[in-house]
Amino acid sequence: MDRRRCKCQRCGMNIAAPIGAQTIICPRCQSVTQLQPPRNNSFANFPPANNNMRPEFSAYPARPRRMSPNVNNNFHPQKFNRPMSPQINNIRPPAVHGRKRAVLCGINYRGHAKSLKGSINDALSMRYFLVEKLGFPIASVIVLTEDEKDPYKYPTKANIRSALRWLVHGCRSGDSLVFHYSGHGAQVRDRDGDEIDGHDESLCPVDYETEGRILDDEINSTIVRPLAPGVILHGIIDTCFSGTFLDLPFLCRINRAGYFKWEDHRIRAYKGTSGGTAFSISACDDHQSSGDTTAFTGVPMGALTYSFIQTLEQETKLTYGRLIMNMKNKIQEAQKGLGLNGANETQEPQLSSSEPFDIHSKLVAI
């Protein structure tokens, strides 16, 4: 069916609407948007029919969220053509607002050979969920995507670093902080001996080819170590190789029956907090891949982001154990329904923490 691009009037999500439709329901916020009649050139942005093309909305996963692991962190793949944001130095963090704060980063890497389709949708969906459902003040949520007009919110390495510093600046007891990342992840050789598997995990900013990646060591020292007593941080990490993305000391292993045990990942350096509590809910284990998918809504989204939001919306008084088990079930059902049963298609959400606890007793508090 021929489609055209439109945007939800409430939350701003991009939607593909059938040609001739007068209204469309947003899969994110469920609001109804009135559509303008299509222009005569409404087909101009769509390629000609080609039975050999991959459809606009493909099956799970549409594009793995990973970069090829390499042991040389100075290696830069062939650069791609895209508009570059101006170089920004000495960024001053914006004023801190509210006891609930969030940094949401979604990168599609437009123009790159390994571009993604759902990462910006993930960031916008998370903003809607935090503001409309969990009561986060809109001024307390920083969103970094390639669609942002503000140059300070373009997801460069410098801007992401600045936003992370802002997130924890002046945090005190009672604060709830959220860091959500959707984009590519990569593994590089661990050079300081603090990783059990010998690899650091890393975040790939939009300018990673020239400015480099952000390693999990830096993410931990920036937003985990400064957490004061009584402060809670949740990382929601929708990328490949993300099991220990925040470098937290303890990783939870959960089997299908719900039995769990904590793995102690402390080797050399202390990777805990300054008295606060940090949780990371990630898309997959450090050796697994995650991906964009249209299996849930018909529009590209990360399986981790969608299953996380849906589980919290559908159930109250969730424990961390039930959250992870429900997310696993949602993702596995989507994969099974499309006949993807090989090991390469496995994606199992992971839970890590700054301290071990009973995952079936402790309630999720964001």
Cis peptide before 61 (omega within 30 of 0): yes
Select from 321, 328, 323, 325 the least CA-distant residue to 360.
321
CA separation, residue 83 to residues 154, 156, 250 (Å): 11, 12, 40
pLDDT in tens, 254-299: 888 889 999 888 776 677 899 999 999 988 765 666 777 777 878 8
Q: Which of 11, 204, 240, 284 is catalytic?
A: 240
Identify the band that residue 64 occupies on the pLDDT scale cut at 50, 70 and 90. low
Give this prediction's pTM: 0.75
240 is a catalytic site residue: yes
Asked if residues 136 and 104 have their Cβ atoms less than 8 Å apart, the reply is no
Which amino acid is located at 345 in the chain? E
Quick: pLDDT tens for 88-146. 344 455 566 679 999 999 999 998 888 898 999 999 999 999 999 999 999 999 999 99
Are 14 and 5 a contacting pair, CB within 8 Å? yes
Instruction: Give the model confidence (pLDDT) of 312-329 as tens digits.
Output: 999 888 999 999 999 998
In a 10 Å sphere around its CB, with 0-12 CB exposed, 13-18 middle and 19+ buried, how is residue 257 labelled? exposed
**Distances, alpha carbon 225 to alpha carbons 84, 161, 317, 345, in Å:** 32, 15, 28, 34
Of the residues 8, 29, 105, 184, only one is catalytic, namely 184
Q: How far apart are CA 360 and CA 258, in angstroms?
A: 9
Residues 141-189 pLDDT 10s: 999 999 998 999 999 999 999 999 999 999 999 999 999 999 988 766 6
Return the amino acid letter for 234.
Answer: H
Residue 211: CB atoms within 10 Å: 14
Q: Helices in the chain by DSSP H: which ranges?
A: 119-128, 157-168, 208-211, 216-223, 303-314, 320-337
